[in-house]
Structure 1
Amino acid sequence: MEKIQTLWRELYKNSEEQVLDELQSYLRDQKKSNFAKYDDEQWYQKAVVYSLYVQFFDRTIEGLKKRLPYLQDLGVNCLWLLPVLESPMCDAGYDVSDYMSIRSDLVENKTQSKQERLDVFRDFITAAHEHGIRIVIDVVLNHSSSEHRFFQQAIQDRNSEYHDYYVWSDTGKEYPQTRIIFEGLCTSNWEYSSNVNRYYLHRFYPQQPDWNYRNPKVLLHILRIFVFWKQFGIDGFRLDATPFLWKEEGTNCESLPQCHTILKIIRAVLDYLEPGTLLLAEACQPTSQTVAYFAEGDECHAAYHFPLMPKIFLSLAKQNPRYISDIWQQTQQIPSACQWFVFLRCHDELTLEMSSSQERSLLYEHYCKNPQWNFRNKNGISARLSDLLDKDPRQIKLAFTILATLPGTPVIYYGDEIAMQNDNVFYEEMIEHTGYADTRNLCRNRMDWQQAQNALENAQTLEHQVHTYLRNLLQIRQQCDCFFQHNVQFVDLSDASEKLLVYDRAGTKSCRVVHNLGEEPVAFCCDDMITGSKIEVLQAYQSVIVEL
Structure 2
Amino acid sequence: MQVDWYKDAVFYEVFVRAFADSDGDGIGDLAGLTSKLDYLRWLGVDAIWMLPIFPSPLRDDGYDVSDYYTIHPDYGTLADFRALMAAAHERDLKVLVELIPNHTSDQNAWFQASRDPQHPEHEKYRDWYVWSDTDQKYEESRIIFLDYEPSNWTYDEVRGAYFWHRFFHHQPDLNYDHPAVQREMLRIMQFWADLGVDGFRVDATPYLIEREGTSCENLPETHAYLKRMRKFLDAYAPGTLLLSEANQWPEDVRPYFGEGDEFQMNFHFPLMPRIFMALAQADRTPIEQILARTPELPEGCQWGSFLRCHDELTLEMVTPEEREFMWDFYAPEPRMRLNLGIRRRLAPLLENNRARIEVANSIFLTLIGSPVLYYGDEIGMGDNIWLDDRDGVRTPMQWEASENAGFSTAPAEQLAAPVIEDEIYGYRKINVAAQREDPDSLLNRMRELLRIRKKYPAFGRGELHLLEVHPHTGLAYLRATVAETLIIFNNLAPEPQTVSVDLADYAGKTPVDILTGETYPPITEELYVVELAGYGYCWLKI
Short-chain TM bin: 0.7 to 0.9
For 1:153, the equivalent position in structure 2 comes to 113
Secondary structure (helix, strand or coil) at the match of 1:228 reads helix
For 2:489, the equivalent position in structure 1 comes to 514
Q: Structure 1 CA distance, aligned partners of 2:325 and 2:462?
A: 30
For 1:411, the equivalent position in structure 2 comes to 372
Contact 1:156 1:195 in 2 (8 A): yes
Q: How much is the aligned-residue C-alpha RMSD, in angstroms?
A: 1.7
Pairing 1:532–2:517 present: yes
Q: Structure 2 CA distance, aligned partners of 1:212 and 1:504?
A: 45
For 2:101, the equivalent position in structure 1 comes to 141
For 2:37, the equivalent position in structure 1 comes to 68
For 1:484, the equivalent position in structure 2 comes to 460
Q: Structure 2 CA distance, aligned partners of 1:397 and 1:532?
A: 18
Q: Structure 2 CA distance, aligned partners of 1:211 and 1:244?
A: 10
Contact 1:139 1:240 in 2 (8 A): yes
Work out which of the residue numbers 382, 401, 424 in structure 1 matches 2:343: 382
For 1:46, the equivalent position in structure 2 comes to 8
Shift of 1:251: 1.1
Shift of 1:197: 1.0
- Structure 1 unaligned segments of length 5 or more: list them: 1-38, 108-116, 432-437
Secondary structure (helix, strand or coil) at the match of 1:345 reads coil
1:211 partner letter: L
Secondary structure (helix, strand or coil) at the match of 1:340 reads strand
Q: Structure 2 CA distance, aligned partners of 1:330 and 1:175?
A: 29
1:87 partner letter: S
Pairing 1:441–2:391 present: yes
Q: Structure 2 CA distance, aligned partners of 1:404 and 1:453?
A: 21
Shift of 1:66: 1.1
Q: Structure 1 CA distance, aligned partners of 2:437 and 2:499?
A: 31
Contact 1:393 1:465 in 2 (8 A): no
Pairing 1:543–2:512 present: no
TM, length-normalised to structure 1: 0.85
Relative to its length, the structure with more helix (as a share) is 1
Work out which of the residue numbers 84, 89, 94 in structure 2 matches 1:129: 89
1:103 partner letter: H
Q: Structure 1 CA distance, aligned partners of 2:256 and 2:267?
A: 10
Pairing 1:471–2:432 present: no
Secondary structure (helix, strand or coil) at the match of 1:386 reads helix
Contact 2:376 2:398 in 1 (8 A): no
Q: Structure 1 CA distance, aligned partners of 2:211 and 2:359?
A: 44
Secondary structure (helix, strand or coil) at the match of 1:416 reads coil
Contact 2:272 2:306 in 1 (8 A): yes
Q: Structure 2 CA distance, aligned partners of 1:177 and 1:261?
A: 22
Secondary structure (helix, strand or coil) at the match of 2:181 reads helix
1:91 partner letter: D
2:351 partner letter: D
For 2:508, the equivalent position in structure 1 comes to none
Contact 2:193 2:237 in 1 (8 A): no
2:438 partner letter: A
For 1:24, the equivalent position in structure 2 comes to none
Q: Structure 2 CA distance, aligned partners of 1:219 and 1:241?
A: 16
For 1:19, the equivalent position in structure 2 comes to none
Q: Structure 2 CA distance, aligned partners of 1:170 and 1:537?
A: 66
Q: Structure 1 CA distance, aligned partners of 2:15 and 2:6?
A: 20
Secondary structure (helix, strand or coil) at the match of 2:463 reads coil
Contact 1:490 1:503 in 2 (8 A): yes
Q: How does 1:423-438 map to 2 (within 5 A)?
A: 423-424=384-385, 427=387, 431=388, 438=389
For 1:459, the equivalent position in structure 2 comes to 438
2:245 partner letter: E
Deviations 1:329-358 (A, max 9, x none): 321111020000000001111101111222
Contact 1:384 1:416 in 2 (8 A): yes
Q: Structure 2 CA distance, aligned partners of 1:498 and 1:193?
A: 55
Contact 1:480 1:510 in 2 (8 A): no
Q: Structure 2 CA distance, aligned partners of 1:506 and 1:532?
A: 19
- Structure 2 unaligned segments of length 5 or more: list them: 21-27, 402-430, 501-510, 521-529
2:392 partner letter: L
Secondary structure (helix, strand or coil) at the match of 2:12 reads strand
Q: How does 1:67-466 map to 2 (within 5 A)?
A: 67-107=36-76, 117-157=77-117, 159-376=122-339, 379-424=340-385, 427=387, 431=388, 438=389, 440-451=390-401, 452-457=431-436, 459=438, 465-466=441-442
Q: Structure 1 CA distance, aligned partners of 2:462 and 2:179?
A: 37
1:522 partner letter: Q
Secondary structure (helix, strand or coil) at the match of 2:70 reads strand
Q: Structure 1 segments of 4 or more deviating over 6 A?
A: none
2:6 partner letter: Y
Shift of 1:322: 2.0
Secondary structure (helix, strand or coil) at the match of 1:160 reads helix
Shift of 1:423: 2.1
2:341 partner letter: G
Q: Structure 2 CA distance, aligned partners of 1:152 and 1:286?
A: 36
Deviations 1:124-145 (A, max 9, x none): 0111111111011110011011
Deviations 1:406-450 (A, max 9, x none): 12000100100010111256x1xxx4xxxxxx2x22111111312
Shift of 1:537: 3.9
